[in-house]
């Protein structure tokens, strides 16, 4: 027998405003500033697979999106907020320096019990949050957890840098995890393995050039080609390791639900794992790169449209600034 963290509810939230690639071909207002880029739909689509992204409204913050995603996940799970013991929000764009976005969500959900905290592992944040929630559940400390990825990356873009600002979007996704007694074998439902890594030597290829302790806000900087190279190699490697830890092989995969940064990365990673693209959930065309929100967003979309079914084996994996990367294998 073993305690497993079973995924029992999924939800997501997206800002109402949608900016199409072609909208960047003329000057456009983003957060009160006129953005003028020399770019076009054909370049963005062919180099990244992105077609559109959602941009938060004025006054709409990360905790608002996170709360809406959480409410949808609670509804999907059929459980009340009061039954949640822990909330973990993966984000690099919290509303405030503190308190955490997670405690804001806790308050907005009307909860007065349990505990809540943020995790910051940038685009890999959801994998890190799932691994932490899993550890709390299998150790018996938590019975039910809300794991949320939520971001408003549009607020940390350099809107004069066409090489980065067209890539990212805003949104949130959430899952409800529940402790359930299972057999302790690879045929169990729930999280079967997690694998986390980071390597601070690569801090300069993807970072924000400002922050609280440097008294500035800063904007995202990325050496895209370098990150791309690491992404394919490290995502495939992490997925293989966590599958092995779960007692499974790539043949057992029903779905890969990867971090949605670039369709070319998704294709290369699937190729390295010998998994066909029709077993990869792709949402990057509609959301762009939403950092820590991208995996739970994709999970929620694919669950709602009927692709992800109970009993199926799912592998998720992500990489981002740090570098930090990891993967999670679970059976629905
Ligand atoms: O979520 C965290 C993880 N992040 C990632 O995984 C991102 C990984 N990297 C990538 O996805 C790709 O490297 C990018 C999409 C960022 C860039 O694609 P690339 O094929 O590596 O292009 P590049 O940066 O080498 O740029 C090629 C050309 C350049 O022009 P020159 O120097 O060849 O004349 C750029 O100036 O494309 C130009 N370019 C653009 N052109 C039109 C860059 N951005 C744009 C743009 N519109 N928006």
pTM: 0.97
**Burial letters 6-33, b for 16+ CB under 10 A, else e:** bbbbbbbbbbeeebebeebeeeeebeee
Q: Is the CB of 262 under 6 A from ligand 1?
A: yes
Torsion of CA 265, 294, 94, 109, to 10 degrees: -170
Q: Is the pLDDT of residue 288 over 90?
A: yes
Mean pLDDT of all residues belonging to the chain: 97
Q: Which among 18, 76, 7, 67 has a CA at the least distance from the CA of 304?
A: 76
Q: Is the CB of 165 under 6 A from ligand 1?
A: no
Confidence at residue 99, expressed as pLDDT on a 0 to 100 scale: 98
Confidence at residue 215, expressed as pLDDT on a 0 to 100 scale: 84
Pick the residue whose CA is nearest to atom 20 on ligand 1: 47
Ligand 1 atom with the shortest distance to the CA of 225: 13
Which tens digit of pLDDT belongs to each residue from 219-253? 999 999 999 999 999 999 999 999 999 999 999 99
Confidence at residue 257, expressed as pLDDT on a 0 to 100 scale: 98
Asked if residues 194 and 242 have their Cβ atoms less than 8 Å apart, the reply is yes
Confidence at residue 317, expressed as pLDDT on a 0 to 100 scale: 97
Asked if residues 3 and 181 have their Cβ atoms less than 8 Å apart, the reply is yes
Which tens digit of pLDDT belongs to each residue from 187-214? 999 999 999 999 999 999 999 999 999 9
Element housing 178 (H / E): strand 170-182
Asked if residues 269 and 236 have their Cβ atoms less than 8 Å apart, the reply is yes
Confidence at residue 51, expressed as pLDDT on a 0 to 100 scale: 98
Question: What gap in Å lies between CA 310 and CA 8, rounded to an integer?
Answer: 10
Report how far ligand 1's centroid is from the alpha carbon of 26 (Å).
20
Q: Is the pLDDT of residue 1 over 90?
A: no
Ligand 1 atom with the shortest distance to the CA of 262: 11
Which tens digit of pLDDT belongs to each residue from 152-173? 999 999 999 999 999 999 999 9
Which tens digit of pLDDT belongs to each residue from 307-316? 999 999 999 9
Which tens digit of pLDDT belongs to each residue from 249-282? 999 999 999 999 999 999 999 999 999 999 999 9
Report how far ligand 1's centroid is from the alpha carbon of 301 (Å).
27
Q: State the catalytic residues.
A: 123, 259, 289
Q: Which among 192, 91, 80 has a CA at the least distance from the CA of 137?
A: 192
Report how far ligand 1's centroid is from the alpha carbon of 70 (Å).
34
Confidence of residue 77 (pLDDT cuts 50, 70, 90): very high
Question: What gap in Å lies between CA 258 and CA 4, rounded to an integer?
Answer: 22
Q: Cα-flanking dihedrals φ and ψ of residue 171, to 5°? A: 165, 180
Which tens digit of pLDDT belongs to each residue from 10-58? 999 999 999 999 999 999 999 999 999 999 999 999 999 999 999 999 9
Q: Which domains are seen in the chain, by residue range?
A: 2-182 (3.40.47.10), 190-331 (3.40.47.10)
Q: Counting Cβ atoms within 10 Å, is residue 185 exposed (0-12), middle (13-18) or buried (19+)? A: exposed
Confidence at residue 29, expressed as pLDDT on a 0 to 100 scale: 98
Q: Is the CB of 166 under 6 A from ligand 1?
A: yes
């Amino acid at each position: 027998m073993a305690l497993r963290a079973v995924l029992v509810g999924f939800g997501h939230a997206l800002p109402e405003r949608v900016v199409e690639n072609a909208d960047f071909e003329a000057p456009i207002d983003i957060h009160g500033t006129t953005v003028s880029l020399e770019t076009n739909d054909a370049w963005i689509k062919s180099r990244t697979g992105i077609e559109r992204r959602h941009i938060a409204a004025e006054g709409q913050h990360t905790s608002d999106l996170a709360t809406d995603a959480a409410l949808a996940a609670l509804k999907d799970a059929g459980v009340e907020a009061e039954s949640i013991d822990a909330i973990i929000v993966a984000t690099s764009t919290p509303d405030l320096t503190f308190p955490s976005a997670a405690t804001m969500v806790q308050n907005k959900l009307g909860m007065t019990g349990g505990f809540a905290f943020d995790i910051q592992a940038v685009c890999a944040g959801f994998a890190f949050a799932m691994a932490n929630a899993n550890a709390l559940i299998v150790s018996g400390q938590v019975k039910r957890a809300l794991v949320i990825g939520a971001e408003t990356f549009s607020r940390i873009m350099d809107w004069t840098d066409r090489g980065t600002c067209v890539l990212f979007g805003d949104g949130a996704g959430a899952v409800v995890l529940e402790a359930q007694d299972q057999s302790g074998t690879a045929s169990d439902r729930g999280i079967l393995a997690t694998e986390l890594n980071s390597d601070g030597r690569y801090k300069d290829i993807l970072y924000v050039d400002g922050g609280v302790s440097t008294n500035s806000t800063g904007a995202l900087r990325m050496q895209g080609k370098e990150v791309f190279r690491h992404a394919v190699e490290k995502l495939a490697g992490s997925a293989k390791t966590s599958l092995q830890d779960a007692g499974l092989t790539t043949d057992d995969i029903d779905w890969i639900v990867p971090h949605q940064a670039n369709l070319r990365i998704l294709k290369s990673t699937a190729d390295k794992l010998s998994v066909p693209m029709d077993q990869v959930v792709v949402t990057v065309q509609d959301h762009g790169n939403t950092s820590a929100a991208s995996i739970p967003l994709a999970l929620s979309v694919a669950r709602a449209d009927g692709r992800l079914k109970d009993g199926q084996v799912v592998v998720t994996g992500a990489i981002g600034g740090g570098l930090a990367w990891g993967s999670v294998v679970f059976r629905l």
